[in-house]
Structure 1
Amino acid sequence: MATKAMRRLREATVLKADKSRHEETTAWCNRDLVPLSPSRRTWGWFNFFGAQSLGALNIATWQTPNTFLTQGMSVGQAMAIIVVSRFIVSFFACVIAWCGLTWHVGFTVQNRFTWGLRGSYIPLLQRCLLNFIWTAIQCWNGGRLVEVCLTAIWPSFQRIPNTLPASVPTTTSQMAGFIVFWVVSFPFLFIRPERYKKPFFISSVGCGIAMLAMLIWSLSVAKGVGPVFYQGQDVPSTSRWSISWLMMAGLNQAIGQKAAGITNESDFSRYSSNHRAFVIGTVSVQWVVGVLVSLGGLVTTAACQIIYGEIWWNPPDLMMVMMDRGNGSSASRAGVFFLSFAFAFAILFQNVCGNAVAGGIDLAGLFPRYIDIRRGAILTFMTIWIIQPWQLINRAATFVTVLSSFSVFLAPLMGVMICDYFFIRRQKIKLSHLYNPEDSDYWFTNGFNWRVIPCWIAGWAPTIGGLIVSAGKIKSAPDALYQLYYTAFFTGLSISFVLFYTVNLVFPIKGPGEFDEYDDWATFTPKEAQKLGIMPHQDAEELAHIGFGASGYRRRAPQIQGVKELELGEAETEGMPTEPEKVKG
């Protein structure tokens, strides 16, 4: 009886493949992991602009200068760090995304040709952990904005008695805002990434207008900016570090905050209709909008310094002050409501797409038979209650610092990814070998590429000591440990890149620079296939115009140019389509 129940449970949880579309569900493949067909690549440059804007039009970017000014840097030095770091982030985002733009596979599958089919679980597990934690933290930040919204509607909401026990480091009103944000966010998990275009547009435009309105209002009321905007360099004479090292540490920190998003850019670049769309949409936001938002946050805060006599870096706290100082008037409450609503809506979609959906894609790579993007996103969102972000935000400041410094591990990961794809394989991969371990060049040794693991470890080994002493605030540690940590992104990426290239020269891999002769997955349009030197799928022209969201194709045997058509069996000669060849796994 128990065995029968378990069998039924397994049958219910295994992902169903649409036979009419010749979809497959194996140990290495499901609908969300295969190379995307042209019908699913629907994002243009403005869609990427909207998606990337959600990573720039948020509270974290708005208050970024605060970190650097409190360390004694001048406004010019703080903004210089932001400009340079944003340029570096833009560059590496495009580099990492190039594989997805060309071959239309995501980070989950991209790592299989570098780490091996089984070895790819190592970077996937890192990404899953980060997605779980960042989803929880962003959900808590969104909940704080919902609390502001509810207070703007009902001023008495903030005065609700705290019924939570002393062991819970939050209040009833904050928890209520968090629950509302979580519930409102949940339905958006059922939307597939192909359909995110309109929500991206609405949320990014709404948040941009709110930030601009906040900036204009503060300047018009204050008639200028406060002393903080003219703050010069003020590094204490007792400081252990010179301004050069402080700026280097700030640069590493600013890049590290975006490192998690850079590593999985292929998960979203594969939805692009062309290369140019992704590059224009990404660079215009990461480098231009991100810089302007940080500057706008600094100017607004400086202006509010004149209005309220204090510095309020955190927008939710500033909005509460705006209502209090406005004596709870309907005008001040209405303004604060729309501001906080726009901020919250932007965080909602940034969290759903950038964290929950990304987590769903990574989980789909770990359990392809049972998890697709939707199920994975739901699971990622459910872990929020296990992680309990109110504990992390309100108590574990050190933990959040460590989390922001996770680039110590991600930079070496990017180093081996860039080296392998661009310099070892020369941007050529075999898509068919990514989904079938049998005779696959990417199986290596029992599914692991032994070359990559020591190179990745060598990248973070020199900097992990600095992370430990910085998080533990161990002042007696040698300067060298801190200095290596302050250059962790550049050091880790460079070491892993050089070592991996050297190891592959000494121990060459099988089939570098090779690719499939035939588009077996119906991935490319005829024009794309011609550019790559691949024989297009015989249904490529038809599939490029299939209705939105369809993913069906007929797998046929390749026809080598100059050779007669291969015999496909009696069913084919009678005009009937042959059964698709099943991917083994």
Structure 2
Amino acid sequence: MERQGNEAAYNQAFFEKRGYNKDIMPKTSAQRNNSTFNFFTLWMGAVHNIPNYTAVGGFLLIGLSPLQVIFALILSSFVIALLLVSNGYAGSKYGIPFAMQLRDTYGDIGAKLPGVLRGVVAGIAWFGLQTFAGSQALLILLNKIFPGFENIGSGVSILGISVPGLIAFLIFWAISFAIGFGGGDILNKFTAILNPLIYIVFGGMAIWGVTVAGGFSNIMNYEISTKTDGIIYPAILSFILIFNSLLGVWAGPGSSVSDFTQNAKSTKTQIIGQISGIVVAHVLFAIASVFIIIGGSIYLGHQEWNILTIINEWSNFWAILISTGVLLMTTISTNATSNIIPAAYQLSALLPKWINYKRGVVIASVLSVVIMPWKMMENEDSIFLFLNAIGAILGPVAGVMIVHFYLVSKCRIDIDKLYFDLHDKDIKIQRVNISAYIATIVGVVISLLGFLPAFKVISDFSWFIGFFISSLVYIVLHHSVKLFSKKQEGVNYNEI
């Protein structure tokens, strides 16, 4: 009812007059057409992709049994789903994108830094890295389809990448760009096609894993060599470690989920769709990943945690082609939902007068090539350092956003104040929410301490630590400022 009232009071001309482009305006009922099924299929590719399957191999090394890892993966889906639906509520209720939700939390100027970190730095850089990772799988496929493809260019490198590698990268980049440029409508159609393929292919691969292992019991009883470095935690903490690792992967989407929920037909639609989709996807992922990796290890005669290596050892060309093809499609889906779409919206929000969504996609896509992600992947440690740092930053951001919307704003947003007139230089609005900023900085600093050897345990649980510390600090600061403001009438220490 409140959203319908807002639509009656505001129209496109109203927001255009205030200096906003249509891509960051609140979505109207006519524009909000994403169904429960759309949300059910939305994140399937983000669950079933090459990095996630490889990560399961690492989870099997921390001392848990195969069955315990399966349960941990399934349980983690409920935590991830809770993050997505709770932080996506503002988007589904008011039809606003992530950029405007950030403004409501941090203030006009305050929203720019977390927005740049999520959409521009994390979105563009990870889009490039994910594109390069996918292109490596495509390169393997091209070499099998076209014998001699790897010899193109006779070993010549261009800016540090081989000619065949560059061709594969640009092909994969072009497909990812096209999906992102098409926006939500194209993405919905793409995921609708991809969803049944995931069930068929990964379900079939799981059956293959059980078959070559000689039965279900051989997989469950497979002796795994645990890691010799790092800390070995008790089972309960190992479960939380897995939750934290997966939440780190979802740190970006978990923060910017309103870019998708703003298109939901209703809040109920996104809640049912996302919870069911995330849980079902993780149930299949938990079973398939463990069965494929352990079954493949038994098949090869040694522990092997790279799913591409397992697939490439198959003798059937068509099985390799189909399985690798679906893995490539899931990586493209992840690239669109987690990277290019948030990056485009953030660029549009930073410069609403000059950049719209499609221009944002073009700029982000070009920059993802300019940064030469293949050079960033030459040093594996630097990649994980970068990704862990982004996760450590976005955990606190998500915590502050959720606390602000539910406890501070009481699930209410004043659209008129949120979309203030950009042409009015004298308007009095909240520029920076100091309490939110301090809470975020405290959470980030403590999370980043995990990069120091003496605080290694923090890095293993960085998302949880950053999320809860920033949330608690924000609650304390907000109530302290509120109490102090009552004693100092007319002074608002939470604005500058």
TM-score of the superposed pair, with normalisation by structure 1: 0.74
Q: Mapping of 1:65-464 within 5 angstroms?
A: 65-127=56-118, 128-158=120-150, 163-165=155-157, 168=160, 171-224=162-215, 229-231=220-222, 240-244=231-235, 245-322=237-314, 326=315, 332-436=316-420, 443-444=429-430, 447-464=431-448
Correspondence for 1:488: 462
Q: Mapping of 1:570-585 within 5 angstroms?
A: none
Residue 283 of structure 1 deviates from its aligned partner by: 1.3
Residue 97 of structure 1 deviates from its aligned partner by: 0.3
Residue 167 of structure 1 deviates from its aligned partner by: 8.4
| SS at structure 2 position matched to 1:70 | coil
**Alpha-carbon distance in structure 2 between the residues aligned to 1:150 and 1:99:** 44
Residue 291 of structure 1 deviates from its aligned partner by: 3.2
Residue 139 of structure 1 deviates from its aligned partner by: 0.8
Inter-CA distance 367–115: structure 2 relative to 1 (3 Å threshold): same
CA contact (8 A) 2:177 2:361 kept: no
Counterpart amino acid of residue 350 in structure 2: L
Inter-CA distance 314–365: structure 2 relative to 1 (3 Å threshold): same
**Alpha-carbon distance in structure 2 between the residues aligned to 1:235 and 1:206:** 33
Inter-CA distance 265–239: structure 2 relative to 1 (3 Å threshold): closer
CA contact (8 A) 1:253 1:405 kept: no
Counterpart amino acid of residue 257 in structure 2: E
Correspondence for 1:502: 476
C-alpha deviations, 1:403-461, integer Å up to 9, x for none? 045332112212221111111111111101112155999822xx222222111111222
**Alpha-carbon distance in structure 2 between the residues aligned to 1:189 and 1:489:** 28
CA contact (8 A) 1:229 1:298 kept: no
CA contact (8 A) 2:15 2:419 kept: no
C-alpha deviations, 1:17-55, integer Å up to 9, x for none? xxx963754785110111001111111011111111121
CA contact (8 A) 1:27 1:368 kept: no
**Alpha-carbon distance in structure 2 between the residues aligned to 1:294 and 1:176:** 34
| SS at structure 2 position matched to 1:22 | helix
Residue 195 of structure 1 deviates from its aligned partner by: 4.4
**Alpha-carbon distance in structure 2 between the residues aligned to 1:505 and 1:250:** 34
Unaligned regions of 5+ residues in structure 1, if any?
Answer: 1-19, 327-331, 510-585
Correspondence for 2:38: 47
**Alpha-carbon distance in structure 2 between the residues aligned to 1:238 and 1:150:** 37
CA contact (8 A) 1:74 1:234 kept: no
C-alpha deviations, 1:244-286, integer Å up to 9, x for none? 5554433322221111110011110011111222112211222
CA contact (8 A) 1:226 1:302 kept: no
C-alpha deviations, 1:524-580, integer Å up to 9, x for none? xxxxxxxxxxxxxxxxxxxxxxxxxxxxxxxxxxxxxxxxxxxxxxxxxxxxxxxxx
Counterpart amino acid of residue 429 in structure 2: W
Which one has the bigger helix percentage? 2
Correspondence for 2:5: none
Residue 369 of structure 1 deviates from its aligned partner by: 0.7
CA contact (8 A) 2:134 2:331 kept: yes
Inter-CA distance 69–440: structure 2 relative to 1 (3 Å threshold): farther
Residue 160 of structure 1 deviates from its aligned partner by: 5.1
Correspondence for 1:62: 53
Residue 367 of structure 1 deviates from its aligned partner by: 0.7
CA contact (8 A) 1:434 1:442 kept: no
CA contact (8 A) 2:21 2:356 kept: yes
C-alpha deviations, 1:45-78, integer Å up to 9, x for none? 1111111112112223333321122233322332
| SS at structure 2 position matched to 1:350 | helix
**Alpha-carbon distance in structure 2 between the residues aligned to 1:373 and 1:505:** 38
TM-score of the superposed pair, with normalisation by structure 2: 0.86
Correspondence for 2:486: none
| SS at structure 2 position matched to 1:105 | coil
| SS at structure 2 position matched to 1:207 | helix
Inter-CA distance 235–312: structure 2 relative to 1 (3 Å threshold): closer
**Alpha-carbon distance in structure 1 between the residues aligned to 2:224 and 2:142:** 40
**Alpha-carbon distance in structure 2 between the residues aligned to 1:261 and 1:392:** 22
Inter-CA distance 28–286: structure 2 relative to 1 (3 Å threshold): farther
CA contact (8 A) 1:119 1:449 kept: yes
Instruction: Count how many residue pairs are aligned between Structure 1 and Structure 2.
Output: 470
Correspondence for 1:544: none
Counterpart amino acid of residue 280 in structure 2: V
Unaligned regions of 5+ residues in structure 2, if any?
Answer: 1-10, 484-496
Over aligned residues, Cα RMSD in angstroms?
2.9
Identity %: 20
Structure with bigger gyration radius: 1
| SS at structure 2 position matched to 1:508 | helix
**Alpha-carbon distance in structure 2 between the residues aligned to 1:181 and 1:234:** 36
| SS at structure 1 position matched to 2:88 | helix
**Alpha-carbon distance in structure 2 between the residues aligned to 1:405 and 1:227:** 39
Residue 86 of structure 1 deviates from its aligned partner by: 2.0
**Alpha-carbon distance in structure 2 between the residues aligned to 1:354 and 1:345:** 14
Correspondence for 1:530: none
Inter-CA distance 247–199: structure 2 relative to 1 (3 Å threshold): closer
